[in-house]
Amino acid sequence: MGNILQISCDVGAMFNRCLDCTLGKAAYITDLKDNVVALETELEQLIAAKNDVMTRVLNSEHQHKMKRLNQVQVWLSRVETLKTEVDELMGRDGVSQEIDKLCLGGYCSRNCKSSYKFGRKVAKMLRDVKALKGEGVFEEVAAAAPELISVADERPTEPTVVGLQSQLEQVWRCLVQEPAAGIIGLYGMGGVGKTTLLTQINNKFVDNPTDFDSVIWVVVSKDLQLEKIQETIGKKIGLYTDSWKDRSLEEKAQDIFKTLSKKKFVLLLDDLWERVDLKKVGVPLPKNSAVVFTTRFVDVCGGMEARRKFKVECLSDEDAWELFREKVGEETIESHHSIPELAQTVANECGGLPLALITIGRAMAYKKTPEEWRYAIEVLRRSASEFAGLGKEVYPLLKFSYDCLPSDAIRSCFLYCCLYPEDYGIDKRDLIDCWMCEGFLEEDKFGTQNRGYYIVGTLVHACLLEEVEDDQVKMHDVVRDMALWITCEIEKEKEGFLVYAGSGLTEAPADVRGWEIVRRLSLMRNSIDNLPTVPTCPHLLTLFLNRNPLRTITGGFFQSMSCLTVLKMSDNETLRQLPMGISKLVSLQLLDISKTSVVELPEELKALVNLKCLNLDWAKELVVVPQQLLSNFSRLRVLRMFAIGVRSPYGLSSSWHENVAEELLGLKYLEVLEITFRSFKAYQTFLSSQKLRSCTQALLLDEFDREESIDVADLADLEQLNTLSFVGCDWPGGLRIDYKDMVQKSRQPYVFRSLEEVTVDSCRNLKHLTFLVFAPNLKSISVRYCNDMEEIISAGEFDDIPEMTGIISSPFAKLQRLRLERLRNLKSIYWKPLPLPRLKELEFRGCDSLKKLPLDSNSANGRRILIRGGEYWWRGLQWKDEATQNAFRLCFQSLDELWLEGLSPD
């Protein structure tokens, strides 16, 4: 009928287990008072143990530069978490309320369920506290800290001035030893050493390990631009791309906030003139992070809500003398028995201002007669007595270096630099072009260009200009202020400067009547899109309209500028047409419309027969240039036509290029040529002229109409060639070069000595670029969309040329940037690891066949090299060894992630 289930059980055992369970639960209530007291006691002991461990940790970190053990840090974190849980349980009168519920001498409760739950929690925490206390016995709490990759980019600076060393240590302690550094202000007068101090703080992060993730340096300056601050921060934290820079201020702020919120950072803001709204920039208000800024005004410290502020004082007499003596040099100080005392007097006249001590000390470095020193004293005293306050103390001292310049022409060259905005990197070529056309450069047998570079060097050595890069200089802000002061107060009648550069103007200054007496006017780097007014400027020599979003200029704008010599309209990408009436500028010697969208040069320009410099570089939309226009400019010394018309395949045809090449032959004064060719015939004409070859600095072969490959050796003796580009050239045989013949003919191993930048774009049939080994000073290489490229440097090219062994052993010694894109067959850059001592950036896109990089663990040499590429490509790389992989592990930035976030560098 069915199955019968039989169950046997031990009734006695079941009863005992139930009894134990009941009694155990009851114990949570009966033992509640004792457990609460025990928990408080055990927690106190745990916190005491934690404090003892923390003391040992801090001692090891600060005194012995060690790093806490991970197990110790985990234990400390668990203690803090458990303490918080206990405090929450025992707080808010929770304990007293539960104890009040007990009755019958503590053996029962008026709310058994509530007391049971609370008692169980207390008992569990008591067990946890005891267990955690038992785990907190450590023989060692820290170990030697591993070498960390620098979180800061080292910046060039003078050695720390003795008098600033103590303040450096003060600020450093604030940053690395205090729990929350917050916002710190460094204030003081111009030239006192605030930027030097901030730079030393930045560089201290390079050599001293801290727990900060990133140190970001931003120059703010008087022309406060939140976008500029965002751009600098974006570059440092990996957000900055062509697409990202076009996002709105608010969108970029959100991106910066999202990234920095996850980091412990230090933001260094140099030269604040007013409050910076960190929220609008996207910088989180620092908690564990820090913001350090410099300013001339203590009010800014209040506006920035600085938690700490430090006044950067002038040096004491003793420290000032030591600094001055160092800059002058012992040889000069000891050259005459009277000079030490006179030098002391000169140092005292500097008032302890480091900038003045350094500048004047260098100016006096080779003055070895007492008369020169007495003259210096008289000049300093006579000038200084005329002024009071900041400008009246600093500018005359700085003006002494200006007065000591060798000639009036060099002094004019110096003052000219204040037409550029504050903190602006001035291109040396641009500056020298202007100087030449202003008549500041003497025309001699050594060439005006060489004379220009000599003057740049003179001003750099006099500390009146600072070298930013090899090709750029800038004026220190105090020096620029001094130069403006000279033009407005000292040389007012002679110079007549009116400078609005970087002033944030949206339209030209309303008071155009003030233009009537001005000789040099700068409206550079503003937001002016229209010039509708016709000004009267009979004396105007120089007009800077560059770096504006100019769209229209009224036809009669130039009608009363008959003396105008220099006209700069470059970097106006919205400017598509030259204004009517420009042909009336018959005195014009420099016309710069580079990086504009101008489509056509009118025939009327032939009237500008006095032109010495015409700059059309990167006028990509230019499609109409009248024939015989260039030959009409018979006085041309500088002609820049690099990358003109490259956006228009229908303009500037091969025939035009052929005719232009002929025109160039007639320019007998030409010293500088930057040129683009689309015609092999034009190229041959160019090669046939030693004059053109000797002055060519940049050459672009664009969509070259050549069936046979060109011979790179033809370019070997272009001694000034620094930029070479091939774009859209589909030579069946690639580039030809007879390496053995080149070495024998040149009588030297390196033949492209001036070449610094090479670009190869969309060129088929190119297997390699081995000729680059002949360019020892290359800084930048970019190769894109060359599907047939298999190697950058090919070892097989030199198998039969023993003379090449030394040349190819270590190329690219000065290479800073290498960009390779869409080279699907590329398998090798170089066949063995290279030192690459100056390399900064590597970028790879669509190079999936490239499995090895020419790197080993010595290639980084302690430097942070940025390597961009796809995740898949990066994971598939084959490294020389584990040490190499480890050396570059943290250098990678994924282009995939940037693409997904809409932040692609392109």
User: pLDDT digit string (tens) for 680-698?
Assistant: 888 889 999 999 999 999 9
Residue 522 covered by a domain:
yes
Dump pLDDT digits (tens) for 790-843: 999 987 776 666 666 656 667 899 999 999 999 999 999 998 899 898 999 999
Task: Find the distance separating the first CA and the last CA of the chain, reported in whole Å.
Answer: 84
Mean of pLDDT over the chain: 83
8 A C-beta contact, residue 857 and residue 828: no
Residues 107 and 31 in one domain: yes
Coil, strand or helix at 355: helix
Tokens 């600072």, residue located: 466
What confidence tier does 358 reach under pLDDT thresholds 50, 70, 90? confident
Q: Are 575 and 530 in contact (CB under 8 A)?
A: no
pLDDT at residue 534 in the model = 86
Q: How many CA atoms lie within 13 A of 250 on its CB side?
A: 0
What is the distance between the alpha carbons of residues 693 and 718, in angstroms, rounded to a whole number?
Answer: 6
Query: pLDDT at residue 736 above 90?
Result: no
Q: What is the per-residue pLDDT across 873-883, written as a single tens digit (0 to 9) for each?
A: 999 999 989 88
Distance CA 227, CA 220 (A): 11
pLDDT for residue 425 is more than 90: yes
* Total domains, the chain: 5
Please indicate, yes or no, if residue 393 is contained in any of the structural domains: yes
Tokens standing for residue 428: 């040396």
Strands (E), 258-351: 265-272, 290-295, 308-311
> Whole domain around residue 24: which residue ranges?
15-144
Question: Does residue 588 form part of some domain?
Answer: yes
Same domain as 503, residue 377: no
Give the DSSP letter string of 437-486: HHT-S---TT-HHHHHHHHHHHHHHTTSSEEEETTEEE--HHHHHHHHHI
Same domain, 350 and 453: no
**Whole-angstrom Cα distance, residue 173 to residue 6?**
80
Question: 114 and 217 in one domain?
Answer: no
Examine residue 298 and state whether it is found in any structural domain, yes or no.
yes
Give the tokens for residue 682.
């034009």
Boundary of a domain, candidates 144, 173, 202: 144
Using a cut of 0.75, tell me whether the model's pTM lies above it.
Answer: no
Residue 197 lies in a domain: yes
Domain assignment present for residue 213? The answer is yes
What is the structure's pLDDT at 509? 83
Give the CATH number, domain containing residue 334.
1.10.8
Give the integer Cα–Cα distance in Å for 644 and 625: 10
**23 and 82 in one domain?**
yes
Host H or E run for residue 325 = helix 317-328
Contact criterion met (CB below 8 Å) for 474 and 465? yes
Domain identity same for 137 and 36: yes
Distance CA 190, CA 314 (A): 10
Q: Residue 492: what pLDDT?
A: 66
Give CA 367 to chain center in angstroms.
38
The pLDDT of residue 778 is 95
Is 7 among the domain residues? no
270 and 198 assigned to the same domain: yes
Which of the four pLDDT bands, split at 50, 70 and 90, describes residue 662?
A: confident
Is 430 within the bounds of a domain? yes
Residues 225 and 193 in one domain: yes
Looking at the structure, tell me whether residues 113 and 207 fall in a common domain: no
Clarify whether residues 449 and 519 are in a common domain.
no
CATH of the domain at 508: 3.80.10.10
**What integer is the mean pLDDT of 593-610?**
94
Asked whether residue 41 falls in the same domain as residue 59, the answer is yes
Q: Kindly report the backbone phi and psi dihedral angles of residue 686, in degrees, each rounded to the nearest multiple of 5, phi listed first.
A: -60, -45
